[in-house]
Structure 1
Amino acid sequence: MDSDFVRGNDRRWLLRWGGLAAVCAVAAGVPLVGAQPGHADPAPTDPDIPPDTLPGGAYDRYLAELAAQDKFSGVVLLSHRGRTVLSRSYGMADKEKGIRNHEGIAFNLSSAGKPFGAVAILQLVQQGAVKLSDTVGTFLTGFAKEIAEQVTIHHLLSGTSGLNTPAEDLQRIFQSREEVHEFYEQWARQSTLVATPGTPTDHSGAEVVIPAQIVEAVTGKTYWDYVQENIFERCGMTGTAFYTRPQWLTDEHIAHSYMTLADGSRVDAVRNLNEGSPYPYELGKNPGRSFIDAPGDGGFATAPDLVRFAQGLGNGTVLDRPYADLLTGAKIPHGQAQGGLAATADSSFGAYDMPVHIVNGQWVFGRAGANPGSCASWNIYPYTGWVGVVLSNYDGLPLQEISQQEVQAVTGRH
Structure 2
Amino acid sequence: MPQGDIDKIAKETGFSGVVWVDRAGQVEFAKAYGLANRTYHVPNTLDTRFGIASGSKGFTALAVLSLVQDGVLELSTTARSLLGRDLPLIADDVTVEHLLTHTSGIGDYLDEEADTEITDYVIGAAHELTTTEAFLPLLDGYPTKFRAGERFGYCNGGFVVLALLAERAGGVGYHDLVRERVLRPAGMTRTDFLRSDELPADAAVGYLPLNGADRSNIFHLPVLATGDGGIHTTAADISTFWRAFFAGDIVDSVDEIVRPRCDVPEESMRYGLGFWLHKSTDTAILVGYDAGASFKSTHDPHTGTTCTVLSNTSPGVWPIARVLAL
TM-score, length-scaled by structure 2: 0.89
**Residue of structure 2 equivalent to 1:186:** 137
Query: 1:174: how far off?
Result: 3.5
In 2: Cα distance, 1:113 partner to 1:371 partner? 12
**Residue of structure 1 equivalent to 2:214:** 266
Query: 1:358: how far off?
Result: 4.1
In 1: Cα distance, 2:13 partner to 2:322 partner? 20
Give yes or no for the alignment of 1:212 onto 2:163: yes
Query: 1:398: how far off?
Result: 5.8
Give unpaired runs (5+ residues) of structure 1: 1-51, 274-285, 343-347, 409-414
Query: 1:158: how far off?
Result: 0.7
Counterparts of residues 14-413 of structure 1 (less than 5 Å): 52=1, 57=2, 60-143=3-86, 147=90, 149-166=92-109, 170=122, 172-175=124-127, 178=130, 180-248=131-199, 251-261=200-210, 263=212, 265-270=213-218, 273=219, 286-287=220-221, 290-320=222-252, 323-335=253-265, 337-338=266-267, 342=268, 348-359=269-280, 362-397=281-316, 399=318, 401-407=319-325
1:305-324 CA-to-partner distances (Å, cap 9, x unmatched) read: 1111101111121011xx11
In 2: Cα distance, 1:175 partner to 1:391 partner? 25
Query: 1:140: how far off?
Result: 2.0
In 2: Cα distance, 1:202 partner to 1:164 partner? 10
* Cα distance change on mapping 1:170 and 1:294 into 2, 3 Å: farther
* Cα distance change on mapping 1:111 and 1:236 into 2, 3 Å: same
Identity %: 23
Deviates more, 1:201-210 or 1:231-240: 201-210
Instruction: Report the 3-state secondary structure (helix = DSSP H, G, I; strand = E; otherwise coil) of the residue aligned with 2:325.
Output: helix
CA contact (8 A) 1:163 1:201 kept: no
**Residue of structure 1 equivalent to 2:115:** none
Look up the equivalent residue of 1:372 and give its one-letter code: A
Give unpaired runs (5+ residues) of structure 2: 112-120
In 1: Cα distance, 2:180 partner to 2:173 partner? 11
In 2: Cα distance, 1:63 partner to 1:373 partner? 21
* Cα distance change on mapping 1:236 and 1:144 into 2, 3 Å: closer
* Cα distance change on mapping 1:229 and 1:136 into 2, 3 Å: same
In 2: Cα distance, 1:147 partner to 1:105 partner? 39
Look up the equivalent residue of 2:217 and give its one-letter code: A
In 2: Cα distance, 1:65 partner to 1:131 partner? 49
In 2: Cα distance, 1:144 partner to 1:184 partner? 11
1:196-230 CA-to-partner distances (Å, cap 9, x unmatched) read: 11122433232111111111012111111110122
CA contact (8 A) 1:106 1:302 kept: yes
Look up the equivalent residue of 1:269 and give its one-letter code: N
Look up the equivalent residue of 2:236 and give its one-letter code: P
1:69-102 CA-to-partner distances (Å, cap 9, x unmatched) read: 3521111111111121110111111122232111
- Between Structure 1 and Structure 2, the one with more helix by share is 1
Alignment root-mean-square deviation, CA: 2.3
Q: Compare CA radii of gyration and give the structure with the larger one.
A: 1
1:131-162 CA-to-partner distances (Å, cap 9, x unmatched) read: 10111122221246673521111111111111
